[in-house]
Amino acid sequence: MQARRFQAFLFFVAGVIVCNTVMATAYGANGAGSLPSAAERLNDVASAGQAVKAAPASSESENTGTVAAAPPNDACASATPISGTGLFAFDNATATMDGPSHNACEFFNQTQIDHDVWYCWTAPAQALTGNYVVGTCGHTVVDTKIAVYDGCACPPTDGNLMACHEDDCSFQSRASFTAVSGRSYLIRLGTFPRASGGTGDFSITYHSDLLCTEPADHCQHPDQANALTSNRTSFRVADGFTPTQSGTINGVCWWGSYRTPPPGSIDCQGAAPDAFEIRYFTDANAVPGTEIASFSQAGGTLAVVGPVPAGTFIDPSIVEYEFHATHAGIPATAGECLWIEITNQLTGCTWLWETGFSGDGRALRDGFPTSPNGYTADDAVAEDLAFCVTVQIDPAGTTCLPPTPPNDNCANAAVLTGVGTFTVDNWTATKDGPDHPSCLSPPPSEETGIAKDVWYRWTSPCSGPVLVRTCETTGVDSKIAVYAGTSCPTLATTPLACNDDLCGPQGIQSMVVFDAVPGQNYLLRIGSFPGAPGGVIGFEVSCGPPDNPACPGTGSCCNVSGAGGKGCSDKTCCETVCTCDRYCCDVEWDSNCAAHGYDNSGCGAVDLCGCGSVCGRPEAGDCCSANGTH
């Protein structure tokens, strides 16, 4: 395998540089954001993809001839009574699934909690009404999932659900909730569906607000899982929030960390004086619009207290600091989206704003803070930031999110005319179409669906190959399908073409090729890999591949060229493969280019060299092998 086939990413993690090397054209984890642990997400690059989770085989599938007894708290009605704070043992190795699924518990397309065991917990009576955290971080190797309900009535309902979380610290979880002194709450501890149960401990801790005295419903709480660089030269971060009551914002709490640049990254708090700035913006189509006010620590308009160590760590050993500031009041109107940006410009030290939960799941991260263009929808990342303000805010408000696309459903497919590059924001789109075996994503995910799909009806002006691709026009982990006609597909429908993870800088964008007839109608389905966030997707529709000066070249498209020859003799095959993999025309036509030349999975559903149907059989001959042997 040529070295150029690999992409290396450096992640700024807990004082070390983590080198994550992935194969660009077989990006099994589906993107730069597909990291093996949450620790590897504390970085100075935006997560462009998503955490992809392949459900492991359940231990219950093994026929051992014996059935182990379920734990005594296997059923909600038999919840174990516990109280106070501290460590509590659990064993869900033989537990069954007893509780309901919840949409608010959806992680990696799974809304259920498997192997669940139950506890009825009573909050301490020492007037410690406030935020509590129940978690398994550092206390087990089990892939846990946790839900907390108000009261201990069984079965619990969506209305009782207070918090549900998974994979907050590698494959372990923590959930934060507000408890009233002396009141009982139901804790449901289980696993990601089909993961094996096991033993371990979970902790219940009281989270002292330290500097922050704001009520819990004024906050997006710190998650101790990740943090994003936010300064005024390399990256800046903003998050939207929606007040549920009108009032005045004149104070802010927030959380973050300090790190020296790699290599040898260490905590550098105190190495340089803080220079915080906080800015507020109106909303302008789901991005920050007009600046309402700006407050500066250096300019004397922002009075900052802190940093104070919060006594906790960010995944799992980076010191978490808390801050509180006051400033002149700004008006907040109930139901209207506001944006907050917090930056800290330091010398020789990087400040990172901690991520949080209880928000809408979307923030903006601008990699060009000195540009006059400001924030755009392309800056969207699937995060919330940790902060509190002096008014109550909606924990999952949608007013700061983009509107649902009008062509979210197949029945409302938009009419697409001609060829060119088109744009859609599918952040709030839902899944409307069926799964297809021919839409199978690369291992280990092997997803057959397309999430957050939007639909287009297109009449072809082309005769012959048509390309639909997102290769250089989006950072979204995209997936594309094309259907004959304009009837909405069913499970029995076979797409003309379907692709995931073929091209793009990180190998997580898509391209399909299909033969079109002039005047015929086709249905285009553009979406995201299941579990990946949406965003702004630019997609190109073209009649045949773009011209490439290296095409036609010399030699067969299905064989390696000699002496670093670029391209191959079949112009259409050459240009299509080079659209998919520029190396083939920029550097040389190597064995990977030859593989694209014959393999249907390489560049869509078109058998470019005429032997894809027999590739892998002895009779395929040298057309399907770079070295002339099967």
CATH code at position 88: 2.60.120
Say whether both 341 and 237 belong to one domain: yes
Say whether both 347 and 439 belong to one domain: no
Q: Is residue 171 part of a domain?
A: yes
203-212, 322-331, 432-441, range with the lowest pLDDT: 203-212
Residue position matching structure tokens 């400033």: 327
Task: Look at residue 614 and tell me whether its pLDDT is greater than 60.
Answer: no
Task: Look at residue 171 and tell me whether its pLDDT is greater than 70.
Answer: yes
Say whether both 10 and 90 belong to one domain: no
Say whether both 539 and 552 belong to one domain: no
- Mean pLDDT in residue range 87-113: 92
pTM of the entire predicted model? 0.63
Q: Which of 47-51, 316-320, 460-464, 523-527 holds the top average pLDDT?
A: 523-527
Q: For the chain, how many structural domains are there in total?
A: 5
Say whether both 526 and 551 belong to one domain: no
Q: Is residue 402 part of a domain?
A: no
- Mean pLDDT in residue range 84-112: 91
Say whether both 355 and 276 belong to one domain: yes
**Distance in angstroms (rounded) separating the CA atoms of residues 13 and 263:** 10
Q: Which of 603, 437, 410, 421 is nearest to 523 (CA)?
A: 410
Give kind and range of the element (H or E) at residue 228.
strand 219-229
Single-letter residue type at 263: P
Strand 414-416, strand 451-459: pairing? parallel
Say whether both 108 and 245 belong to one domain: no
Say whether both 495 and 627 belong to one domain: no
Say whether both 225 and 304 belong to one domain: yes
Give the Cβ contact number of residue 543 at 10 Å. 16
**Helix, strand, coil percent content, the chain, rounded in steps of 5:** 10, 40, 50
Q: Is residue 399 part of a domain?
A: no
Say whether both 536 and 552 belong to one domain: no
State the pLDDT confidence band at 275, using cuts at 50, 70 and 90: very high
Domain boundary among 168, 189, 207: 207
Say whether both 443 and 515 belong to one domain: yes
Task: Look at residue 148 and tell me whether its pLDDT is greater than 70.
Answer: yes
* Predicted confidence (pLDDT) per residue in 276-307, tens digit: 999 999 999 999 999 999 999 999 999 999 89
**Distance in angstroms (rounded) separating the CA atoms of residues 304 and 233:** 21
More confident residue, 347 or 168: 347
Exposure b/e, 124-139, CB count within 10 A at least 16 = b: beeebbbbbbbbbbeb
Strand 350-357, strand 384-385: pairing? antiparallel
Q: Which domain does 566 fall in, by range?
A: 547-630
Say whether both 111 and 201 belong to one domain: yes
